[in-house]
């Protein structure tokens, strides 16, 4: 159950971007049927970390989905996919542009039997343009989107993110656009194609940068943990860890200045306004950083608690598991898994008051739901199904 109960999604995407997108839909009640090749499993099934040979990435990314196998390069596999899509609301795919067309599974063909179909297509560079046929990986998107150029410290090389940022951002954008298309379908009765690319999804996270270059000819540069529009804003080392701090408003900065023992800084022309503090951020850190370094993280948090500064410890996952805010919000839930036993996983987020999402199960086995989908739902007879299995089509 959930707000998307009754929504049927056929997922031919695999890997991270599409897998993350359809996980979001499945978390909120959509019936997601995930299609893999009978022989070549989704690579995520083999990604570490492993628990007794089971990929924990897979268990997380494929949760709440039903798993079937189909060889889409075989005409019989293509025919079965068309049957699956005929009464579906959404089809996700992330093959290299032109692949679905080569298989006769393009939108024009699929929408003949299902005019209301929304086809969400995720690729590195989109379905058009000179790079559309290039292999699309998150690393390339993080490079050409402008993200890597501004990520890191000014005296160091550009820094790639330690997570699959482009893939997961594209997944979120694809979900957003799919819901736009489904809402519009209520009025027109017609589906359409969602064309989401990895590089554009990250590119769109830079409000003002396009306008800045267009009007001023300026490009943003790496600033480390500083922010172009707020100061103080940095990561500071304490005696036993690190904290992140932001205090850009004048009233909060005045409290901060008193807390670190320099109340006069609030009236210093270098720090009297947020824009002035941005220009003199390194000088300001010269007052804040030594005060932080002399105290434990707990002492820093206690001292700033009364000053209304935005300050928080830098957590690792062990800290997350112990944090009372995460616990109070039930951000981590326990699910019984057939392979792993009781396993904790992130809750379905964000939270809805009346029809929240839920995690029913973690990632299923390869082809685990073949019989339920092909025999019971599509109505294949046993002999035909056995032949398709023998021929490696399912």
Neighbouring residues of 74: CB distance < 8 A, sequence distance ≥ 6: 391, 393
Task: Kindly state whether residues 337 and 384 are assigned to the same domain.
Answer: yes
Is the model's pLDDT at 234 over the cut of 90?
Answer: yes
Task: Kindly state whether residues 191 and 262 are assigned to the same domain.
Answer: no
Q: What is the pTM of this model?
A: 0.95
Is the model's pLDDT at 307 over the cut of 80?
Answer: no
Task: Kindly state whether residues 19 and 87 are assigned to the same domain.
Answer: yes
Domain count of the fold of the chain: 2
Strand residue runs (E) in the chain: 8-12, 31-36, 50-51, 54-55, 66-69, 90-93, 118-123, 193-197, 233-237, 242-246, 310-313, 332-337, 341-346
Each residue's pLDDT tens digit, 87-105: 999 999 999 999 999 999 9
Q: 229 by DSSP, 3-state: which?
A: coil
Domain assignment present for residue 281? The answer is: yes
Domain assignment present for residue 364? The answer is: yes
Each residue's pLDDT tens digit, 1-33: 899 999 999 999 989 999 999 999 999 999 999
Domain assignment present for residue 282? The answer is: yes
Each residue's pLDDT tens digit, 264-296: 999 999 999 999 999 999 999 999 999 999 999
Domain that includes residue 345, residue range: 8-204+329-390
Domain assignment present for residue 2? The answer is: no
- 99 membership: H or E segment, kind and range: helix 99-102
How many whole angstroms separate alpha carbon 160 and alpha carbon 142? 7
184's tokens = 């519009």
Task: Kindly state whether residues 254 and 163 are assigned to the same domain.
Answer: no
Domain assignment present for residue 320? The answer is: no
Task: Kindly state whether residues 288 and 344 are assigned to the same domain.
Answer: no
CATH code of 15's domain: 3.40.50.10540
Task: Kindly state whether residues 109 and 251 are assigned to the same domain.
Answer: no
CATH code of 285's domain: 3.30.1540.10
Domain assignment present for residue 338? The answer is: yes
Each residue's pLDDT tens digit, 321-377: 999 999 999 999 999 999 999 999 999 999 999 999 999 999 999 999 999 999 999
Task: Kindly state whether residues 70 and 194 are assigned to the same domain.
Answer: yes
Is the model's pLDDT at 309 over the cut of 90?
Answer: no
Q: Which residues are catalytic?
A: 167
Task: Kindly state whether residues 75 and 188 are assigned to the same domain.
Answer: yes
Task: Kindly state whether residues 146 and 265 are assigned to the same domain.
Answer: no
Domain assignment present for residue 219? The answer is: no
pLDDT of residue 308: 74
Task: Kindly state whether residues 13 and 87 are assigned to the same domain.
Answer: yes
Q: Which of 313, 343, 365 is the last residue of a domain?
A: 313
**Buried b or exposed e, range 192-207, using 16+ CB within 10 angstroms:** bbbbbbbbbbbbeeee
Task: Kindly state whether residues 154 and 256 are assigned to the same domain.
Answer: no
Task: Kindly state whether residues 265 and 168 are assigned to the same domain.
Answer: no
């Amino acid at each position: 159950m959930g707000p998307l109960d009754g929504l049927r999604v056929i997922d031919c995407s695999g890997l991270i971007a599409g897998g993350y997108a359809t996980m979001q839909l499945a978390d909120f009640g959509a019936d997601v049927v995930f299609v893999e090749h009978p022989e070549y499993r989704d690579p995520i099934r083999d990604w570490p970390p492993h628990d007794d040979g089971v990929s924990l990435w897979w268990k997380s990314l494929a949760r709440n989905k039903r798993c079937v196998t189909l060889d889409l390069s075989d005409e019989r596999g293509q025919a079965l996919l068309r049957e699956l899509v005929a009464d579906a609301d959404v089809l996700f795919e992330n093959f290299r542009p032109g692949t679905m067309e080569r298989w006769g599974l393009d939108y024009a063909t699929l929408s003949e039997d299902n005019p209301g179909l929304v086809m969400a297509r995720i690729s590195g560079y989109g379905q058009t343009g000179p790079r559309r046929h290039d292999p699309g990986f998150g690393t390339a998107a993080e490079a050409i989107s402008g993200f890597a150029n501004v990520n890191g410290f000014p005296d160091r090389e550009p820094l790639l993110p330690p997570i699959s940022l482009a893939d997961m951002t594209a997944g979120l954008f694809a979900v957003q656009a799919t819901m736009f298309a489904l809402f519009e379908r209520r009025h027109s009765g017609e589906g359409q194609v969602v064309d989401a690319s990895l590089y554009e999804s990250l590119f769109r996270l830079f409000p003002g940068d396009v306008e800045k270059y267009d009007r001023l000819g300026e490009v943003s540069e790496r600033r480390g943990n500083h922010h172009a529009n707020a100061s103080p804003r940095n990561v500071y080392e304490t005696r036993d860890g690190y904290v992140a701090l932001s205090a850009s408003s004048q009233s909060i900065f005045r409290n901060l200045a008193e807390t670190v023992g320099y109340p006069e800084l609030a009236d210093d022309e270098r720090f009297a306004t947020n824009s002035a503090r941005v220009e003199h951020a390194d000088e300001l850190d010269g007052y804040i950083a030594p005060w932080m370094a002399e105290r434990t993280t707990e002492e820093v948090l206690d001292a700033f608690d009364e000053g209304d500064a935005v300050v928080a410890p830098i957590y690792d996952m062990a800290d997350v598991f112990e944090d009372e805010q995460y616990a109070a919000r039930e951000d981590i839930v326990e699910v019984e898994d057939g392979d792993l036993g009781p396993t904790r996983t992130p809750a379905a987020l964000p939270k809805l008051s009346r029809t929240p999402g839920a995690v029913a199960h973690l990632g299923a086995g390869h082809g685990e739901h073949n019989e339920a989908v092909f025999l019971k739902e599509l109505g294949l007879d046993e002999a035909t199904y056995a032949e398709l299995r023998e021929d490696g089509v399912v």
